[in-house]
Chains A and B, each alone.
Chain A
Amino acid sequence: MPVLSVNDLTVRFLTRGGVVRAVERVSLTVDTGEITGLVGESGCGKSVLCLAVMGLLARPPASIERGSAFFDGMDLVRADAATVRSLRGRRMSMVFQDPLTGLNPYMRIGDQVTEPLRAHGKIDKKEARDRGCAALAEAGLPDPARLMARWPHELSGGMRQRVMIAMALIGRPALLFADEPTTALDVTVQAQILALLKRLQRELHTSVVFVSHDLGVVGELCDRVMVMYAGRIVESAPSAELFSRPLHPYTHALGRASPALASKGRALYAIPGAPPDLLQEITGCPFMPRCERAMPACARAPMALDEVGPGHWSACIRARETA
């Protein structure tokens, strides 16, 4: 049962320099209790995709040109702002990358964690407090009762990120977007946060969309991984399969460029060139100029995901040759 189904979503930004094609015709579904990874390099559109679904993009400058995002039987793209706001923090929520700027420095942890509850209707103080403590404990924070009275600056980065997670979970959302939640953290703290997300998935059946540029983290945590490039999903597969048998040249190149997966001391594969300018309209495959396997047909072929193996989708027209 999909919790979220995004269809043909296209997001553009109207800027003085022209139209930025940030997300181009993206379709995806997120199943109940599944952790879906979204990987790609800076500027590939992964965060914009999440923000668009969450209704957090300012329109203008952003504009959703086409497509839909169904959640709770409702198209979030067409729903009015008040309706989407009533879902945020309750049915769906988001954890942002930077725990330093994600928390309000003028609010005590307790007020901050329970804010989603208060925003969605009257709740008495005692109950808010109890649920706040429970949420902090759930996020693995010690001594929640005392923590409620503290200020964000008194906490370490790892603790702040847990507060953000507690805040996102207090409304018991069915869908959680986690946008690079561990990028600013050390590996040992990262391991704790990943274990926490796994536990939430198992115990509360929360669906998670996990955004990261780190292949290792995504491969370890996620059930299914989607790879984005130039605003498009270029490959989607079960996580183990994606890393052992990538069927898009971009995914393959990322793996060869990553020191975690390459053999020591050898030159790493450096993808030639740079990602395309999103101000220009791209016809054909966006990765073609940098691709080792490109052929003339790639310039004309329309970008479309094709199921090349069971549950394994690739947007490369040559994927079937290797599949």
Chain B
Amino acid sequence: MSAASPVLELNDVAVYFPIVKGFLMPRIAGCVRAVDGVSFAAAMGEIVGIVGESGCGKSTLARAALRLVPLSRGSVRVDGHDLAGMERDELRRFRPAIQMVFQNPFASLDPRMSVFSILLEALAVRAPIPPADRQRRVALLLEQVGLEPRDASKYPHEFSGGQRQRIAIARALAAGPRVLIADEPVSALDVSIQAQILNLMMRLRENLRLAMVFISHDLSVVHHIADRIAVMYLGRIVEIGPADAVCDAPAHPYTRALMSAAPHAGAAGRRERIMLTGEPPSPSAPPPGCPFHPRCRYAVPACKEALPSLGARAPGSPHQAACIRLGSI
């Protein structure tokens, strides 16, 4: 996995949503900084996990990466091509390269389309498929995700949640993407079904060498599947690094609290729990300085002064965190 030529590269991506007040004379009263200056890259065959709690901006980040929401700042490069600057037509032609799998497989498939037409529609985005070829191409896709070719004639309601998610993954693969973005793809599924989908995604990464961004609120799922993990808080990445390092030796106080809050079944899991008090601040009025300082047990007056940027934990280390007290806590 060479980091030299990342397939997906996000640079200083920001998404601000305006807050419009007033009905007859609307005016912009401020903005929600849903994503604020996020940079990371994913190489071929690499899975980057993104974790964070509701409202931290992880889903908005996913949408921004596909330019489903307009970027307020920054660039999204896929194989060096910047999506942020593309015109509508150009973007349309380019989008097959970056595809998405959504959380809810009950909502993301059209109930009135057969699996065959769902997949054919996605296949034909790139180039029209000659009628003689259609059956075979759809069957191939279904096989890739562990379904039977005869499933093509069925409709979404005939499948269970896990199977529907397989169809959603097949549809994403139909376009022949280089990058796959999965937003909470297993959150709606039961443990045993979740395992099947995670196994499938790991196999696809091996076979197709896709670059993947895997978004989840479930730390154990992300730790299991991701090579690197980025932790988001209030629209920013507060820590990023190799999955094991981030999970086993978290550097940022927020990551530490998050990891310690994760429940553990085993008796060995009884360790100190860092209880966070209060709620995350509003992204429309973030506190000055480090956004985590009001809830941080290590906060010092200097934390209110300036926004910390990501710094390496040790010189040259790929494990980075945005905390001014990085070396001393």
Contacts and interface: CB of A to CB of B under 8 A. Distances in A.
Contacts of B273: 191, 195
Contacts of B276: 188, 191-192
A261 B261 CA distance: 16
A244 B243 contact: no
Interface string B229-256: 0000000000000011000000000000
A210 to B, nearest CB: 12
A55 interface: no
Interface residues of A, number: 44
A259 B223 CA distance: 8
A220 B195 contact: no
Interface in A262-278: 262, 264-265, 267-271, 274
Nearest to A192: B275
Contact of A219 (B53, B220, B225, B266): B266
Interface in A118-173: 156-159
Contact of A213 (B54, B190, B225, B243): B190
A215 interface: yes
Interface string A233-266: 0000001100110000000011001111110110
A221 B263 CA distance: 9
Given A192-B275, A257-B194, A271-B192, A216 B258 contact: no
Given A192-B275, A264-B244, A213 B224 contact: no
B262 A257 contact: no
A299 interface: no
B5 to A, nearest CB: 23
A190 B263 contact: yes
Given A186-B217, A258-B191, A267 B202 contact: yes
Nearest to A254: B191
A187 B262 contact: yes
B199 interface: yes
A253 B54 CA distance: 30
A244 B267 contact: yes
A194 interface: yes
A217 interface: yes
B87 interface: no
B279 A156 contact: yes
Contact of A41 (B192, B243, B265): B192
Given A187-B217, A257-B195, A259-B198, A214 B263 contact: yes
A15 interface: no
A218 interface: yes
B265 A216 contact: yes
A216 B263 contact: yes
9 contacts: A186-B54, A191-B260, A215-B191, A215-B265, A239-B265, A259-B225, A260-B262, A264-B243, A265-B224
Interface of A: 41-42, 156-159, 186-192, 194-195, 213-221, 239-240, 243-244, 253-254, 257-262, 264-265, 267-271, 274
Interface of B: 53-54, 160, 190-192, 194-196, 198-199, 202, 217-221, 223-225, 243-244, 257-258, 260-267, 269, 273, 275-276, 279
